[in-house]
Structure 1
Amino acid sequence: MNSKGFHMSFFRCSNISISNVKIQAPDISPNTDGIHISNSNNIQIFKSKIATGDDCISVGPGSRTINITNIKCGPGHGISIGSLGRRPNEEDVYGITVKDCNFISTMNGVRIKTASQPSYPNTASKIIFDNIHVNNVSNPIIIDQYYCPHRKDCKQDSSKVKISDVTFNNIWGMSKTKIAVDLECSQANPCQKIVLRDINMDYHGLPGKLATSFCSNVQGEAYGKQKPPSCIKRP
């Protein structure tokens, strides 16, 4: 409770299970991630409640075979993979599953973020976001490859991180902002094999206004219900 920084941090760990944890910090407290993982493998996080001023769970470079299940997140910045590519020689990220989670009044829902300046090569692949409920969430689904919170001209730079084989499945609820699906990938390294399946989100704004989606530099496919209409073409 009320940590000065990350509440729990796992670095170069293997075969760890975390369950029935409650983490709490004010929603205005910076860098108070609930659980941070990096350079670790076979980590299980489940049945926990996390309310902070930053990411509920952040998955950093070198994370492999991470399963995050049944997490209640909010307030906070959601569950994030990244940021990636900030430093040279980062290890790749793969095999991440986020499933059966509930986001309430968070800045983001499920997010992948990579640094744009400076940016170093890295890859993130085999990522699944499945059965996610959002309520009053500003960015329910977001890939941000122009992440540089300390600069204003990030769009001029292209991330060198390669994102591929990412599935967003059965994500539903209410978006606080009009753009419910925001996939902004690197011009230098377009996202590949991105799948949207059974997306069902309304816009919690003005009556009669529908949520929208936005894509840039994305290659993938969309299946099933797509609300808002997908910016990725159906096969």
Structure 2
Amino acid sequence: MDSRQLCMSFFIFFFLVLAKEGRAQGADRIFDIRKFGAIGDGKSDSSKAIQDAFASACNAAGGRSRIVVPLGTFVVKSAVFNGPCKGWIEFSVGGIIKALAGPVNDDGWVVFRHIDGLAITGNGKFDGLGQSAWNFNNCKKNPNCRDLPTSIQLEFIENSVVSGISSLNSKYFHIKILQSNSITIDGVGITAPENSPNADGIHISNSQNIRILNSIISTGDDCVSMGAGSTNILVYNVTCGPGHGISIGSLGKYDNEADVNGITVDKCTLSGTSNGLRIKTWPSDVQMTAYNITFNDVVMDNTYNPIIIDQQYCSSKGCDQSRSSSVQIKDVWFKNIRGTSKSQSAVNIQCSRRFPCYDINFSNINLLYGGPDGKTKKELEEKFCVGVMALIEKLKSQSLPNNFNLEN
């Protein structure tokens, strides 16, 4: 790990050690949601009880406050936890927090806002019951649709940790991070079937210094997606699949989007995903830049479209494919990418006609076509070589700058 990763790992360790020592010394204030009326029978609505427990913990002066969700299944219609708080907050989940069935149209299901010093910990689960609502997701056909709720939403959160928990079957995104700084997500499990619509594992936008570490994500959309304003993001040792891979974008869809800068994806595995490492931008007049991006040491296991830059991305009605993207993509490295591609086009670069890609680099790319029709190894390698030559010719035809580098 580099120095940034080591610093963040130390932060997680220090935070959790403090919490453990505090409990051993009786320093933590414990707020068991059952004492506020929560019933873990899988039927009773515990929304008010869990919010009352948080309010009491948040208003406790100084020290650390620990909210406990014990064993049991606690139904929560929606819960919004607003800070700022007077001390550190630990939200410890040992049981199951379960959503209501059906297409609840709230912005978020469990929402944390304006908290500096939050730890969401435990081996418990957030069950979004997404299977009861996915049929109501019509956003690809209806540009005026209303999104289903995100399972766990972090807004204006700083210096915080999410560790150990699981998110199951979210109605929309599993975890969304907005307008936040210095958050580490470590060792979480995210699970939904590959046909779950818009069920991104972790989505980040307008946030900086975010670390996603040592996690397993299986879902129906991007395992990790980084939108506009994502700065200094590390995705490290994440296993993804099924899903749509690890994506930056889509960018340029909305006015006044902030630049994307300092993205590192390192030591990850993508297995059976419909895309691999992807940068996608919308065909529009919105000008912004995505730069200083590194994808390194990534294993592809039977992955469609392992490496993609798509500057004509259009996932729903309401975009004009005749327009060209105004997003400048530059200073990008794909290094040490290896494994098997389920598509013959292992590297697919479609840059903007208006703002051509600049300083895109490939080093030590070793992707073999593992087609479905039982080709011999020699035939597979020949097909892949043909695909690489076609890519090079395509890059030449796009009149890209000379510093579009292919090494090894």
Q: Same fold (TM over 0.5)?
A: yes
Q: Residue 119 of structure 1: CA displacement? A: 4.0
Q: What's the offset of the Cα at 1:223?
A: 1.5
2:131 maps to: none
**Residue in structure 1 matched with residue 173 of structure 2 by the alignment:** 6
Q: Find the aligned partners of 1:163 and 1:30 in 2 and give their Cα distance.
A: 28
Alignment map for 1:15-94 (pairs within 5 Å): 15-94=182-261
Counterpart residue identity of residue 217, structure 2? I
Q: Name the CA distance, whole Å, in 1 between partners of 2:316 and 2:220.
A: 18
Q: Does 1:139 align with 2:323?
A: no
In the alignment, what sits opposite 2:322? 156
Structure with the higher fraction of residues in strand conformation:
1
Partner of 2:8: none
Q: Deviations over 1:206-228 (max 9, x none)?
A: 4114221434444311222xxxx
In 2, are the aligned partners of 1:146 and 1:154 still within 8 Å (CA)? Answer: no
1 CA distance for matches of 2:332 and 2:320? Answer: 24
Measured in 2, the distance between the counterparts of 1:29 and 1:106 equals 14
Amino acid at match of 1:99: D
Counterpart residue number, 1:189: 355
Instruction: Output the TM-score relative to the length of structure 1.
Output: 0.91
The alignment-based identity, stated in percent, is 47
RMSD after superposition: 1.5
Letter matched to residue 113 of structure 1:
K
Match of 1:137, as an amino acid? T
Matched residue SS, 1:102: strand
Match of 2:274 in 1: 107
* Distance verdict in 2 for CA 1:66–1:153, change over 3 Å: closer
Aligned residues: 223
The 1:67/1:153 distance shift into structure 2, 3 A limit, reads: closer
Paired with 1:101 and 1:131, the residues of 2 have a C-alpha distance of: 7
Q: Deviations over 1:29-56 (max 9, x none)?
A: 1100000000000001110000000000
Per the TM alignment, residue 96 of structure 1 is displaced from its structure 2 partner at its CA by 0.2
Contact kept, 8 Å, 1:194 with 1:221, in 2: the verdict is yes
Q: Which has the higher contact order (CA 8 A, sep 6+)?
A: 1
Provide the C-alpha distance between the structure 2 equivalents of 1:195 and 1:156, rounded to a whole number of angstroms: 28
Query: Structure 2: where are the runs of 5+ without partners?
Result: 1-167
C-alpha separation between the residues in 2 aligned to 1:197 and 1:121?
A: 29
Q: Give 1:175's aligned residue.
A: 341
- The answer to whether the 8 Å contact 1:87/1:119 transfers is no
- Counterpart Cα distance in 2 of 1:49 and 1:154: 36
Does 2:407 correspond to 1:223? yes
Higher percent of residues as helix: 2
Larger of the two Rg values belongs to structure: 2
